[in-house]
Structure 1
Amino acid sequence: MRVMHGRSTGAGRVVGKRVLGTLGAVALTASLLAACAQDEPPADAGATSSSPAPEESSPSTDPGAGESEEPGQSEPSAEGGDDDAGDGSDSTDEPSAEPSEEPSVEPSVEPSDSAGDDEQPGKGDGSRGDEHSDGKNDGNGKGNGEDKKDDEPETPDYIEYGETSERVGDLQQRLQDLGYLLTSVDGSYGGETQQAVFALQKAGGLYRDGVVGDATQAAADDGVVPQAQTSSGKVLEIDIDRQLVLAVEDGQVVKIINASSGNGETYEAKGNTYTAYTPRGSFAVYREENRMYSSSLELGDMWRPKFFTGGIAVHGSSSVPAFPASHGCVRVSNSAMNWIWDTWGAPSGTPVVVY
């Protein structure tokens, strides 16, 4: 009996150990299966659990798990983030697979360069917007892409020295028709044209600047010419007040010439003091020099002078301003003096009337 009792007791212990071992293995297996089940996604991805998630769960093997389905929260790609906004990128157009409960990950409603800009013309791709919105591309602040007419030089409303144009030719022709000295009509505003314009401005009582503005052009259009003071014969008239020389035939002015007479100042010549004065009165040409003549008082050269009293002559000069500037002689342009000599005549004995 003892032996059998001893044996049964030992067998029971062995059997008990085996049963306990088996149960333990089953329990361990079940525990392991339960632990693995926590890492697997639920069968229904859209279903939500009513029980709260554990406060401390093991980190997921996927670094973006639990956040990848929330819009706008993925890490910026190598192509940039905000630079692609507004061109139809996936970051704003595709809804997330699972709605987020956190307002911080919802699309922003603040104005930006992305959402809402695609529907506005000229924006979104950054090309047309620069041309039509801020005006930087067209260089004139208008931003309308129109031709920049302001950049093109406009024809001025006036004619001045140096211009070459058809309207200069028209002006020259008009001045020549009125009797102002012009030997050619070439459309180029040079020195001879300037002398004629000076004469026109003097005849019209205008400002003497040689610029053909509205008033000067009106004087030309209206045919402004000075009137002769003599009525018979061939007379060289000198108008001191208006600084003009007139070639007159039987009371008719045939040529109007710009002139510059004595300026009224005193000057020194060969130890003597003189006054730059042009006397008024009736005279006649008594001496003429058909050459470049040097003044006996060493006051300069005179081109083809015609003396009418003492050492006072009408002569050509390269400098004939619109105001009195001589020592007493009456300056005209060299071309004007050539016309007096070669075309009109004015030989010795020709009356000279200065007023």
Structure 2
Amino acid sequence: MARAVAVGLSAVVALPVGGAAAHAGAAPGASAPALSAPEFRMFSSELRIGDSGAEVERLQQRLIDLGYWLDAADGEFGGHTLHAVWALQKAAGIDRDGIVGPVTRKALDDGVRPRAQSTSGDVVEIDLERQLLLVVSDGEVEKIFTTSTGSGKTYESQGEERVAVTPKGRYTVFRDVDAWDPGPLGSLYRPKYFNRGIAIHGYTSVPPHPASHGCARVSVKAMDWLWSSGRLDIHSTVLVW
């Protein structure tokens, strides 16, 4: 059952999230300057997974307005809302606890968004430090996803000891599989391969920290969106940094 949450002030105002002026004078990879907005005091207590209601819906709409991917603003704080909150917390450099308390509310107030590394073209970027996947067009971040990349741990595959690393570099999607793709380390959902056996793919477990064998994991529904968007078609650019 959802916890009772105090009703706050006005509903969320949809905000523009692009514009060259927002990028002037800042280093690539830094958090973007705050988007101007009325104070975002939608609730007075914490929101977390399992909650529901109007305050959750306003939270979801604010995240969507800022570019954090969500499938819907339905008023239910489920797994996809948790992923969007993690993505915001990663971009803000705060604890990745998935709870919308005072510090996370401030990040929402401030309109925190990550900055792209690339400046031209359509690029999907993987920010290893912050564990974010960004859909970027001409330097403007359009969509923001939480991701989980190589854990850095050693593992054994086909009789060899390897290290779980997602290599940095600029790559091109060269193969995809529109299904669960079985492999020696498990099945990958609708993978888009960009570096030998390394892919962006959907998975049932996407923790807020590096945990994969080298691929970039997103949720299953997020991967469906990436397929339908056309931004990860064959020959698309993937920048890992």
* Normalised-by-shorter TM-score class: 0.7 to 0.9
The answer as to 2:201 corresponding to 1:315 is yes
Residue 45 of structure 1 corresponds to none
SS in 2 for 1:305: strand
Q: Distance between the aligned counterparts of 2:80 and 2:220, measured in 1?
A: 10
Distance across 2 between alignment mates of 1:276 and 1:334: 21
1:233 equivalent in alignment to 2:128: no
Report 1:106-121 matches (<5 A).
none
Shift in Å at residue 154 of structure 1? Answer: 6.4
Partner of residue 95, structure 2 = 207
C-alpha separation in 2, matches of 1:179 and 1:171: 13
Partner of 1:278: 166
More helix by share: 1
2:113 match: secondary structure: coil
Structure 1 pair 154–346 and aligned structure 2 pair: CA distance change class (3 A)? closer
Deviation at 1:308, TM superposition (A): 0.6
Distance (whole Å) between structure 1 residues aligned to residue 232 and residue 138 of structure 2: 14
Please list, as runs of the form range in 1=range in 2, the aligned pairs for 1:145-224 lying within 5 A after superposition: 155=5, 157-224=45-112
- Deviation string 1:100-156 (CA, Å, 9 cap, x unpaired) is xxxxxxxxxxxxxxxxxxxxxxxxxxxxxxxxxxxxxxxxxxxxxxxxxxxxx8647
Name the CA distance, whole Å, in 1 between partners of 2:50 and 2:231.
32
Letter in 2 for 1:309: N
Q: What residue is the counterpart of 2:135 in the other structure?
A: 247
> Of the two, which has the highest radius of gyration?
1
Shift of 1:343: 2.1
- Length-normalised TM-score, structure 2: 0.81
Q: 1:245 to 1:154 in 2, by over 3 A?
A: closer
- Any stretches of 5+ residues in structure 2 without a counterpart? 6-43
Alignment of 1:1-355 (within 5 A): 155=5, 157-295=45-183, 298-355=184-241
Residue identity in the other structure for 2:144:
I
| Distance (Å, rounded) in 2 between the aligned partners of 1:221 and 1:168 | 15
| Inter-CA distance 189–292: structure 2 relative to 1 (3 Å threshold) | same
Provide the secondary structure at the position in 2 that maps to 1:186: coil
Q: Give the secondary-structure state (helix, strand or coil) at the position aligned to 2:192.
A: strand
Any idea what SS the aligned residue of 2:56 has?
Answer: helix
User: Residues of 2 paired with 1:292 and 1:233: CA distance?
Assistant: 30
Question: Contact conserved, 2:124 with 2:231, CA < 8 A, in 1?
Answer: no
In 2: Cα distance, 1:284 partner to 1:218 partner: 37
- Tell me the amino acid that sits aligned with residue 108 of structure 2: A
Alpha-carbon distance in 1 for matches of 2:78, 2:224: 18
Q: 1: distance between equivalents of 2:182 and 2:134? A: 25
- Say whether the 8 Å CA contact 2:181–2:190 is kept in structure 1: yes
- Letter aligned with residue 324 of structure 1: P
Supply the distance in 1 between the matched residues of 2:108 and 2:221 (Cα, whole angstroms).
22
Aligned CA distance change for structure 1 residues 271 and 327 (closer, same or farther; 3 Å):
same
Q: Which has the higher strand share?
A: 2
Contact kept, 8 Å, 2:126 with 2:240, in 1: the verdict is: yes
1:202 to partner: Cα distance: 0.1
Q: Gaps (5+ residues) in structure 1?
A: 1-152
Higher relative contact order (CA 8 A, sep 6+): 2
Q: CA separation in 1, counterparts of 2:230 and 2:94? A: 28
- What is the CA distance between 1:328 and its match in structure 2? 0.6
CA drift at 1:215 = 0.8
| Count of aligned pairs between the two proteins | 201
* 1:19 matched residue in structure 2: none
Do 2:135 and 2:231's aligned partners in 1 also have CA atoms closer than 8 Å?
Answer: no
Q: Distance in 2 between matches of 1:338 and 1:327?
A: 21
4+ long deviations beyond 3 Å: 153-156
- Report the AA paired with residue 228 of structure 2: D
Give the C-alpha shift of residue 195 in structure 1. 0.4
1:72-105 superposed Cα distances (whole Å, 9 cap, x missing partner): xxxxxxxxxxxxxxxxxxxxxxxxxxxxxxxxxx
**Equivalent residue of 1:346, what SS?**
coil
